[in-house]
Structure 1
Amino acid sequence: MLEGVVPFPPEYAKLYREKGYWQDKSLAQEFHAVFEKYADRVAFIDRGRSYTYSEIDQATDRLAINLLDLGLKSLDRVVVQLPNTIEFVILYFALQKIGAIPIAALSSHRYLEVSQFVALSGAVACVAPDRQGDFDFQDMIRRVQQQNPGLRHGIILGQAAEGFASLHDLIQAQPAQDAKARLQAIHIDPTDPAVFQLSGGTTGIPKLIPRTHNDYAYNSKTAANVCRIEAQHVLLVILPIAHNLPLACPGIQGFMFQGAKVVLSASTRAADICAAIQDHGVTHIKVVPALLIRLLNDPVLSQYNLSSLKVIQSGGQRLQPEVRALAKKLIPSAFIQENFGMGEGLLFFVRHDDPEDVRMETVGSPVSPDDEVRIVDEDGIDVPFGETGEMWCRGPYTLRGYFGVPEYNKDAFSPDGFYKSGDLMRQHPSGRYMVEGRRKDLINRGGEKISAEEIENLILAHPAVKDIACVPIPDPDMGERMCACVLLRNGATLGFDELKQFLANKEIAKYKLPERLEIMNEFPLSTFGKVSKKKLREMITAKMEGEKENRNAAAS
C-alpha cells in the first residue's frame, strides 16, 4: 500500500468483501468490462462530438501507453486541472489503466493551492490548460517546479510551450501494437488510491482524501442503484468535472457502469444548459443550489423544451424548500433529489418514493446498509433522537484517514474509526437526516468550501492588520459569502479593494476572496475569551438587514 494511506482495519475489509461491496478489482478492471459490454453505445458528447465507449477505450489505451513512455508509473501522483472536456475523461481513465493517481484539482486553483498539492502528494506531473483568460498555467507550473524538483512533467491541453508535453499529441500518438498486453501486465492493488479528492479542511492547509479502487467503484455503483440510473439516461455535467459529485456520485462513473450517456458542458449559462437539455434529451443534471437558483430565475428557461429532464440532483449545501417548490413548478417533469455527500465518502440521498415531508425537509438517508452514522455531542456521546449534534460516520466507502497527516488524523477520527465530519445534523421523525449547519470553520460559497483559517492567515500578513476573523454571511444566490472582519493597527487604514488586491497577489483561487470587509474596533468574545464568530455573524447579518431596509426606504 502507498505510504501515507490509512488502511481499513482487516475485520472491516473482510466484512465489506463478504458482503460484496468490495470486488477487489481496480477501476481499470471494472471499466474494462464496461468498455467491452457497451462498446458501440455513445458514452460522451463534448462540444457536439460523440464518443462511443469503444472510442474512449482506445483513446485511453493510447494515452496510457504514451504516459508510461513519458516516464509515469503506478502510484505516481498527477495534479489534474482540466475543465469539463473529453480530455479530462480520457486522462482520468488512462491514469487508472497505469495505476497513477489523479489529484482532483480545479482549473480555478492557482499557484498557492497547486504548490501545496504537489508538496503534500509528491506529485510528478501537472496537467492543465495552456491558458484561462489571461492566466498562464505553464508559467505557474514552471514556478511550482522550481520549488518541487520531483515535479518532472508539465502536460498541457492547448499550445504546449518548450519543455511541456502536449496532451493532444499524447492522446493521438499511436503506440506499438503491444498496448493491451503492456497495460494488462500492470498490477494495481485495489486497496491503493484510485484518486485523491480534496478536502478544504479547517487548518488552512488542504487535505488529500485517498479514495481506493474498491471503495470508489462501490461508491458509484451503489449511488447509481439508489438513483435508479438506467442505460437510456443522459447526464449533463455542468459542475466542475473533478468534484466528487459529478465524477462519482453516481456521476460519470455511475452512469458509465449502466452504459448510459454523459454530455459535458464547460458553460453554466442558463441558455447553454437549457439548449443542451433540449438538444440531447438530458434526463439528469447535478447542481448546487446557487446554480439552480440562477437557472430558475433566468427568463430563457421558458424558451426551451425541458420535458426530457427527469432528475435535478442538488448537493453542496442545503436546498431551501422554496427553491425546490419553484423548480418543481417551472420544470414539472423533474424529481428534485436532495443529497448530502463529502469527498471523504458518506452519501445521503432522498429516495424517489420518500414521503413529501421527507423530500422537502431532509437530505434522505445513507446509500449503503453498512454506512454507520452517529449524531454526537461535544463529548462524543450520542444525543437523543431528534436532537442536533455533530455527524460522525464510517463505512465501506468512507476514508479511515487523510493522506500523510497522522497527527491531524488523531483529531479528525475517533479511536474506533469514525470520521468526525464537523457537520451538524439531526434526525427527522422519519429517521432521515436534516442538515443544521456545521461545527467546522468553513464558508460554503455555492458548494465550494473555503477554510476561514487559510484566508485569515493570509490577511494577517498585511501590515495594517492587527487581527482578523473571516465569517460566512447569508446570500440569496450563493448561500454564503465571506466577510473579513478586521482590527487595524493604530493609525492604519485598509480599503476593500486594497485587501482584495493584496490577497490576489498571494495567488489563490478567486472564489476564496472575501466579498465584504468590516473594520471593527473590537471583536465580541465568548465566555471562554475566544472570538465569537457566531456573534460576529449575527452582528454583520443585522447590519446587512439594516442596510437593505435603508435602501428600500430610499427607493420608495
Structure 2
Amino acid sequence: MTTPTSSPATEDVVHWPADLAARYRTEGYWQGRSLGSYVADHVAAHPDREALVDGDTRLSYRQLWDRSAALAQYLLDLSITPGNRILVQLPNCWEFVALTLACFRIGVIPVMALPAHRRHELTHLAALSESVALVVPDCDRDTDLREVAQQVAADVPTIRSVIVHGDFTSALGEAAVPEHSLASGLATTARFASSEYEPSGSDIACFLLSGGTTGLPKLILRTHDDYAYNIRACCEVSRFDADTVYLGTLPSSHNFPLACPGILGALFVGGRTVMLSSPAPERALRTIDAEAVTVAAAVPAVAQAWIEHQREHGTLRGNSFAVLQVGGSRMPDELAARVEPVLGARLQQVFGMAEGLINMTRLDDDSEVVVNTQGRPVSEADEIAIVDEAGQPVPDGTPGALLTRGPYTPRGYFRAPDHNVRAFTVDGWYASGDIVIRRPDGNLVVAGRDKDMINRGGEKISAEEVENFAYQLDGVDMAAAVAMPDPRLGERVCLYLTLTPGHRVELDDVVAAMDAAGVARYKRPERVEIVDAMPTTKVGKIDKKDLRERIRDRLAHESASRGEQS
C-alpha cells in the first residue's frame, strides 16, 4: 500500500533523487518492506519467545503481535486510517511498543512527542503534522495531561480524538473532542486484513523531532525503507542478536533508544526488551541483574549516576551486562574511562542525530578509540564531509562543520522549505550543526556546535525559544540564552538580560511566563544574569561565545570560593 500523492502525508516532503533511490534499492539498503514485517518474521519463527518485559507484564512475540493488532483495529474503528498522523506522548511502557507496531502495520504515522512536552510543544506538533488524534497518559507528575490534550484539541481543528493511557474513570468536564481509553483498545478484536493495509517501503513510517535549534521542533520524516536500514546497520555494528536483552530506560520516543538499535533493533533480531520508566540508578542496576540485561543505553549524566551508584553500593553483582551505549551529548573522556572498570560493561560511544547519520565506536576497538572518540559511521554508504566556513574540506585533525548524506539521512524536514534551504545543500548534504574532528583512523571527535542550541542531559533546547519568552516580559531590552557547564547534565540554560531603566526581572518571572504558555520544564533557564550591556561581535551580533566564557569563569570562581570557605 502506497500513500496516494494527494494525501496530506506526502505534501511538503523532500524525496531522495530517483537515481539514488534506485541505487539504494539495487544495493540492498532499502528492502521494500514495512518495519512491522521484520518483527512478523520472529512472530512466525518463535512465537513463544519472550519479546517485551514491563514490570510484571511479560509478553511473547505472539502476545505482543496480537496486542498490536488489537490497537491497529481500534485506530481503524476510530476512523484513523492509513496516512493519518497521531501525536503519541507515552512513557516507557509496553503499550508504547504495541501502539507503535500497530501504526507500522496499518500505515498510520506516529509523531513521536517527548514525555516532557506540554501544551506549547504539543500544539505546535499537532498543528504542523495535522494530527487527527493525541495519545497521552492520564498525568505526568503534577500535570493533568488529559486536560492538556483537550486544550491542544481546542486549538488544532484536525484533532478528532484523545486516547488516554491510564486512569479513565474521572470526569473531565467540558471536552473539546471525545476521549477514548487505550485499555479498551487492547480489548478490541482485530478484524483487518494485514495485506490490505501493509505499507510499502517508501511509505512514511513515523515523524521524529529535530532538536529545535531555531525555535520549536521540526518534523523529520522517516520512511519504512530508510528507518529499517538505520536499525539494521546499527544492529550489525552493535552485534544485536537473539540473545540480546536491551534495557529501554531513556524516553522511548527518542531516536537513540527507539532505533539505534534500541527497542526496535532488539525486536528486529528476535531479542528481548526490558522497559523501565526511569533511569534512576538503584532500580536500573537492579533490573540489569534481575533481567540479565546485556545492553543498555544512557546519556552521559545517566552513565555518571550509574557509575557513582555502583562505586558506592555495588548494586551490580551479575555478569550479564556486556555493553553500555552512551549518546545524546559528548561524553567527557575521563568519565568514559570509568565505564568498564566500574560497571564491567564495554563502552560503545554513539554520536548521531534523528535526521540520519549514526556513528558508533566498534566493540572490538581498542580502549583509546572507545574513550577518546565518538566513533565512525555505521554504514559504508554514509557520506560525510568536514568543511570550513567557506564550505571547503578541511584536512584530518582540523575542526570543521559536519555535512552528511546517505540511505537513512532524509533530504529535508517536513513542511519546512525555508529552513531546508539553510539546513540542506542543493546536492543533498545535511548540515548537522556539529563541529567535529576526523582522525586519520576515520573516527570522529565531537568538538562542539555551530548552532545556537543548549544540550541539557541529551535534551536539546533552542536558545531562541527561551529568549522569545524573555522578550514577553516588561522591561527586558535584550535577551541571550547560553549554555553554562554542569557536571551532571553537561549543560544548563543561563539567560543574560539587559533591562530598561526602572525595571526588575528575576528568574521566577521568566519561569512563570514559560509555565503560563505550557512549555516543557526542561527548557526553563536555571540562572539569570543581569548585565548593563551585551557584548557584540564585529558585525553587531550578540557575542554568545563571550557570554559562555563569562558564565564558565563565574561558576569556576564560585566553586573555588566555596572550596575556600569549606
Pairwise mapping of residues 457-496 of structure 1 onto structure 2 (< 5 A)? 457-496=468-507
SS of residue in 2 equivalent to 1:195: strand
* Correspondence 1:173 to 2:181: no
Distance 1:95 1:239 in 2: 21
Deviation at 1:301, TM superposition (A): 4.3
Does the aligned pair in 2 maintain the 1:306–1:331 contact within 8 Å?
no
Taking a change above 3 Å as real, the CA distance of residues 202 and 343 of structure 1, as seen in their structure-2 partners, is: same
Structure 1 residues 531-550: Cα deviation after superposition (integer angstroms, max 9, x where no partner): 11001000111111111111
Deviation at 1:483, TM superposition (A): 0.1
Distance 1:219 1:61 in 2: 25
* Correspondence 1:348 to 2:359: yes
Aligned to 1:501: 512
Distance 2:437 2:144 in 1: 46
The residue identity in structure 2 corresponding to 1:276 is: T
Aligned to 2:338: 326
Structure 1 residues 238-283: Cα deviation after superposition (integer angstroms, max 9, x where no partner): 1001110111000111111111010000022211001101110011
Pairwise mapping of residues 113-152 of structure 1 onto structure 2 (< 5 A)? 113-152=121-160
Structure 1 residues 265-321: Cα deviation after superposition (integer angstroms, max 9, x where no partner): 002221100110111001110000001111111256403314210000000111112
Please, which moves more after superposition, 153-162 or 343-352? 153-162
Does the aligned pair in 2 maintain the 1:312–1:337 contact within 8 Å?
yes
Does the aligned pair in 2 maintain the 1:271–1:300 contact within 8 Å?
no
Structure 1 residues 162-214: Cα deviation after superposition (integer angstroms, max 9, x where no partner): 63000011111224xx43x2x32125232222010000232213100001100
Structure 1 residues 145-175: Cα deviation after superposition (integer angstroms, max 9, x where no partner): 1111210010000123563000011111224
TM-score (normalised: structure 1): 0.97
Structure 1 residues 21-54: Cα deviation after superposition (integer angstroms, max 9, x where no partner): 1011122333322322231110000012210000
Aligned to 1:369: 380
* Correspondence 1:259 to 2:267: no
Aligned to 1:218: 229
Structure 1 residues 488-529: Cα deviation after superposition (integer angstroms, max 9, x where no partner): 111101122232222221211110001111011111111111
Distance 1:107 1:446 in 2: 15
Match of 2:323 among 305, 308, 311: 311
Structure 1 residues 428-456: Cα deviation after superposition (integer angstroms, max 9, x where no partner): 23221110001011000001110111111
The residue identity in structure 2 corresponding to 1:39 is: P
Pairwise mapping of residues 236-315 of structure 1 onto structure 2 (< 5 A)? 236-298=247-309, 301-315=313-327
* Correspondence 1:30 to 2:38: yes
Does the aligned pair in 2 maintain the 1:190–1:214 contact within 8 Å?
yes
Match of 2:72 among 64, 78, 82: 64
Deviation at 1:458, TM superposition (A): 1.2
The residue identity in structure 1 corresponding to 2:185 is: L
Deviation at 1:118, TM superposition (A): 0.8
SS of residue in 2 equivalent to 1:126: strand
Aligned to 1:79: 87
Does the aligned pair in 1 maintain the 2:457–2:491 contact within 8 Å?
yes
Aligned to 1:203: 214
* Correspondence 1:103 to 2:142: no
Match of 1:533 among 544, 554, 563: 544
Distance 1:57 1:447 in 2: 32
Aligned to 2:18: 10
Please, which moves more after superposition, 514-523 or 25-34? 25-34
Aligned to 1:48: 56
Aligned to 1:382: 393
The residue identity in structure 2 corresponding to 1:164 is: E
Taking a change above 3 Å as real, the CA distance of residues 306 and 292 of structure 1, as seen in their structure-2 partners, is: farther
SS of residue in 1 equivalent to 2:562: helix
Aligned residue pairs total 550
Deviation at 1:136, TM superposition (A): 1.0
Please, which moves more after superposition, 497-506 or 401-410? 497-506
* Correspondence 1:401 to 2:412: yes
Taking a change above 3 Å as real, the CA distance of residues 301 and 255 of structure 1, as seen in their structure-2 partners, is: farther
Distance 2:402 2:557 in 1: 35
SS of residue in 2 equivalent to 1:296: helix
The residue identity in structure 1 corresponding to 2:520 is: A
Deviation at 1:134, TM superposition (A): 2.0
Distance 2:315 2:246 in 1: 21
* Correspondence 1:164 to 2:176: no
Deviation at 1:125, TM superposition (A): 0.5
* Correspondence 1:192 to 2:227: no
Does the aligned pair in 1 maintain the 2:250–2:278 contact within 8 Å?
no
SS of residue in 2 equivalent to 1:297: helix
Does the aligned pair in 1 maintain the 2:324–2:348 contact within 8 Å?
yes
Taking a change above 3 Å as real, the CA distance of residues 445 and 246 of structure 1, as seen in their structure-2 partners, is: same
Taking a change above 3 Å as real, the CA distance of residues 501 and 39 of structure 1, as seen in their structure-2 partners, is: same
The residue identity in structure 1 corresponding to 2:189 is: Q
Aligned-residue CA RMSD (Å): 1.3
Distance 1:120 1:306 in 2: 47
Deviation at 1:422, TM superposition (A): 0.5
Does the aligned pair in 1 maintain the 2:51–2:270 contact within 8 Å?
yes
Does the aligned pair in 1 maintain the 2:73–2:188 contact within 8 Å?
no
Distance 2:487 2:456 in 1: 11
Deviation at 1:329, TM superposition (A): 1.6
SS of residue in 2 equivalent to 1:223: helix
Aligned to 2:175: none
Does the aligned pair in 2 maintain the 1:119–1:148 contact within 8 Å?
yes
Does the aligned pair in 1 maintain the 2:13–2:414 contact within 8 Å?
yes
SS of residue in 1 equivalent to 2:337: helix
* Correspondence 1:426 to 2:415: no
Aligned to 2:349: 338
Please, which moves more after superposition, 186-195 or 530-539? 186-195
Taking a change above 3 Å as real, the CA distance of residues 507 and 335 of structure 1, as seen in their structure-2 partners, is: same
Match of 1:21 among 26, 29, 35: 29
Deviation at 1:411, TM superposition (A): 1.1
Does the aligned pair in 2 maintain the 1:129–1:158 contact within 8 Å?
yes
Structure 1 residues 305-355: Cα deviation after superposition (integer angstroms, max 9, x where no partner): 1421000000011111211222222122x1101010100010000001223
Distance 2:46 2:478 in 1: 59
